[in-house]
Each structure stands twice: as C-alpha cells, then as structure tokens.
Structure 1
Amino acid sequence: MNIQLKQRLVGAVVLVALAVIFIPMLLPGKGNLGGGIDGSNIPPEPDFRFPPVPAAPKAPPVAAVPVVPLGDSDDVEPPAISDKSAPVEKTAGQSPPKPPVNAVVKTPAKPPAKPVSSPATKAAPAKVKPVESGQVSGWVVQVGSFSARNNARALRDKLRKQGYASFVEPVQGASGRVYRVRVGPELSKAAADKLRQRLAKKPGLQGLVQAYP
C-alpha cells in the first residue's frame, strides 16, 4: 500500500506542476514571461535625418572644333621653265651658305641683314640673266621624263638631296601631259656637259644636254 500511495502522490504532484506552468500561458493577457511584446513597449524608431546631397554641377557642353583639312603644299605645280623665276630660286638657294662667311670677315660690325641681302642680289644675276625672246640663256641636263607627276617629283627630290639644283617641267605632248626632270641651268654648254658626265656615273641618270629655256 505504501508504494501505490507514493506513486499516486508523485503523479498528483506532476499534474499540479504542469497545471501551474501551462494554465497561465493559456489565459489571455497573463503568462510567466510577464506579457508579450506589443505596441506599448516598443521604443520609437530613431529619426535619422541626413542633409540632402547637392547635385553635381553640370559641365558646360564642349563645342565641337571644326577640323580644317590641310592641303598638300607639294601639289602646287612649280612654274614652267619659261618663267625665269624657277632657276633664280635654285641658284639663290645654293649661294647663301658661302656669302655670309665672307661678309662676316670683312665687315663684322655691320648688321646681318646687309651681308645676307647683298650676296643674294649679286648671285642671282650671275646665274640667270634676262634675255630676249628666242635666245638661249643657259643649258640644262634632262635626266628623266615621266607621265606620273609623283615619279618626277621623287627623282627631283633625290637629286636635291645629293646637292643638284633640279626642277620639274610640265609639258603638254601629243599623248598627254609629260613631266620632265632637269638639272641646272648652266651658263655654258661645256659646263652642262660636265654636269651630265657626273650624273652619268650614278645608276639610271643618263642625261641629255638641252638648251634652256
């Protein structure tokens, strides 16, 4: 009888304990945890106010710069040989390196403008002199004749780099326009022939002495 009584007492104690734990939880508004979380006990949301970020200034529109194509200065055809200005430019371009040295030795006190101008004016008439129509003013060595202007210019530039005064003469022939490459002019035919012999030593420059213009 004692064992059965003890078991009943233990069962009764367990039931009472369970009732004490679960009954308050089932009742509305009460519980062991002191009540649930409702709107009254939630702290207010903090008010974070940030200053507005200023908008980045708009960059002014960049105006489009018009691109002007540069023309090829070498496309301008040099004047015909009948105009005496072409050989004058070549001879004047060769003479300036020598006269400034002599001028500095003789008159060092004079400004550089005078010695440069005086030899140029003397050298030009010495090479090319104005002559009447129909007279020969000099002699040239023709080293090539091309139907393509670029080929004639290439040979002319090659001769100039080697120290020869050369130019391109455009001529209208029966079969079309032809570009002659000539070296000179020289004052005498003998000087032109010596020039031809010097050019003949170079490959592909078998020239022909001709009167100029």
Structure 2
Amino acid sequence: MATALQNRIVGSVILIALAVIILPELLDGKPQQQREQFETMPLQPEVEVTAQEVKTIPAEEEFTPVQTPAETVEVTAVNAPTVSASAAEQLPPPDREPTDVSLAEPGWTIQLGVFSNPESVERLIATLTAKGYPAYSEKIQRNGRELTKLMVGPGLVQSELEAQLPALKKLTQLNGEVIRFEP
C-alpha cells in the first residue's frame, strides 16, 4: 500500500494540474468577440418627379409683398418728403445687370414707407420712375384707415436692393427696408 507521503505528493500534483488547467479559464471568463457597431442606412424613398412651369414676373401693378415690416412710419401730407430737382438729377439710374439667381426662390422688394396721402405717393413714384427705379404703390387697410405703401423693386438678389438704399434715401429722404416678395 502506498505510504502517506506518496498520497500527499499525488494529491498535490493533481491539485497543481487542476490549478494550471482550470484556474486560467475561470479567471478569463468567456472569450469576447470584437463586433463593429454600425447602423443600417434607410432605403431611398421613391419620389415622383414632375416638371414645373417657369413662373413669369407679373406686371408692376400686380406686385404684392409677402410680409410687411414690423415698424412703419406713417407720413401725412404735412410731413411728406419732397424731392428737389437738383437731387433727382445728381443720382445715376440703378444698375441692371443679369445675375445667377434661381427663379424658384422668392424675391425681394424695398418698402420706402406707408403714407396716408396717396397724392404724395404718386409724386414720389413719378420721381423714382423718372430716375429708373421700378416704383409702385400698394393699398392696405390698417386700423380702419386706407394707407398706401411706396415700394421699389422687386429684385432677386437682396444685396443688390440693399445697395440701392443709400441712393434712395438721398433721393427721397426715406429710410427704406428690404422685405420678402413673392409674386
């Protein structure tokens, strides 16, 4: 029979063998696989494409701006600005060069003021059109009164109209504002 020393040596060898084989498996856990995170891209929706007609710019009488400015100055016959003949002759007509702008976008127009006296608006329109500016008027109702807006434009490029503001101020003494215009 085996001696006690032999039994202890065999037991120790078995325990060491188990520790070498099983212990690393227990401490490491399950092996993990590296997975890349990604999202699926949605399919392109099917869209029906239709041709659209090119819109023409209406005559000057048909212009209507989309929005009105928050602050408007009401000018009456008493405080309506007058245009001196010398100031009107000194200003060159506005430049009209073609630009690369999409006709699908809404345009811009200049609102010079809102007047209660339509005669002063007509005088200003005559002066502005004589200098080459496309001026027109528009009637509006505000607080039960009929007022007349003095408009110049429209144009497709906002910066071109903003460049005309100093010349218009010199000509009419009115602070204009560039606003959206959609026919």
Bigger radius of gyration = 1
Say yes or no: TM over 0.5. Answer: no
Structure having the larger proportion of residues in helix: 1
Please, what TM-score do these two structures have when normalized by structure 1? 0.37
Please, what TM-score do these two structures have when normalized by structure 2? 0.42
Higher relative contact order (CA 8 A, sep 6+): 2
